[in-house]
Amino acid sequence: MDNRSIGFFDSGLGGLTCIPYLTAALPEERIIYFGDTARTPYGSKATSTIRNFSMQIADFLVQNDVKMIVIACNTVSSICLEDLQFRFPEIPVVGIIAPAAEKVAASCGNENRVGIIGTKVTIRSEAYNRLIRELKPELEVYSEPCPAFVPLIEEGIIRNDIMDMTIRYYLDDFVLENRLDTLVLGCTHYPLIRDRIERFYPDLRIINPSEEIICSIQQILTERSMLAIHSERENIFYASDLSENFMNMIETIFSSQEMKVQFKNLDIENTRK
Ligand code: DGL
């Protein structure tokens, strides 16, 4: 048993899309979430910058005594999972790409046509393609960067014509020309526009990494006897810019759940040792 919190982080509010799946599967667990809202988006930044930001955040989470770090960000997972695992050998560090790639390999036959959408960095890294190819070499996988989605979502521009036009701009040709039947939402912000995507492409089967990662978390905590039991802790949500959007999104995502939460603004650059 280990009642310490699980540390989650993302460039902004996208990683919050994992939390309802976590609380449904593991209701005893508590979390410390960090959204780097002051510096989002990460997905078009240099890899050295993203690595530096990620190390700062992971250091902060470890200083706050988390029992595990969950990289609730495809962009970070695609380029610095091993660096973070190397830096914190004493706790499990879980990336979001491998569980989703395993789901693709397990649930698709070679006749399926799979599309991956994500940030520029995630798509350029080819992390999804590499892992899927290892597990299922014959499967056709196509990928497309969609860099405008994250800034729009962080701005709360979700249920309106601007988002709909952006979805069609990125996905119409991608889906039709490649005759896709499966789409991986390879950015944790994208589940927030899942229903909009499904309106335009109702026949696509969606794979959501924010959901798939929960199995890995559960498996690791179980194997290491680290599951929480009756934790008295609160869930704490830190943001480097505690914006109205961030708090509204937490309220939207958790509206149906009883959650004790604390919000905190944190200047991550000045907390680094
Ligand atoms: N949620 C992050 C991801 O999964 C978004 C990256 C960004 O900030 O551009 O990749």
Distance, in Å, from the CA atom of 50 to the CA atom of 15, rounded to the nearest integer, reads 16
- CATH number of the domain within which 27 lies: 3.40.50.1860
Ligand 1 pocket, residue 9 CB under 6 Å: no
Rounded distance between C-alpha atoms, residue 6 and residue 231, angstroms: 12
Domain that holds residue 85: 6-95+211-272
pLDDT digits 0-9 by tens, 236-260: 889 998 888 888 888 777 765 656 5
Q: Give yes or no for residue 210 CB within 6 A of ligand 1.
A: no
DSSP letter at 139 equals -
Q: Average of pLDDT values for 170-179?
A: 98
Q: Which token pair is 219?
A: 């498996």
123 Cβ below 6 A of ligand 1 = no
When pLDDT is averaged across residues 203-227 and rounded to a whole number, the result is 98
Asked if residue 239 lies in contact with residue 262, where contact means CB atoms within 8 angstroms, the answer is: no
Residues 155 and 56 in one domain: no
pLDDT-based confidence at 52, cuts 50/70/90? very high
Q: What is the pLDDT of residues 21-42, one digit of tens each?
A: 999 999 999 999 999 999 999 9
pLDDT over threshold 70, residue 171: yes
Q: Is 1 among the domain residues?
A: no
Q: What is the mean pLDDT of residues 101-123?
A: 96
Asked whether residue 193 falls in the same domain as residue 230, the answer is: no
State in Å: Cα 14 to ligand 1 middle: 7
Inside any domain, residue 69: yes
Asked if residue 11 has its Cβ within 6 Å of ligand 1, the reply is yes
Residue 262, by phi and psi: left (phi above 0), alpha (psi -120 to 50) or beta?
Answer: beta
Distance from residue 261's CA to the centre of ligand 1 (Å) = 23
Q: Whose CA is nearest to atom 8 of ligand 1?
A: 41
Question: Strand 6-10's sheet: what is its strand order?
Answer: 93-94, 68-71, 6-10, 31-35, 235-239, 261-265
Active site residues: 73, 187
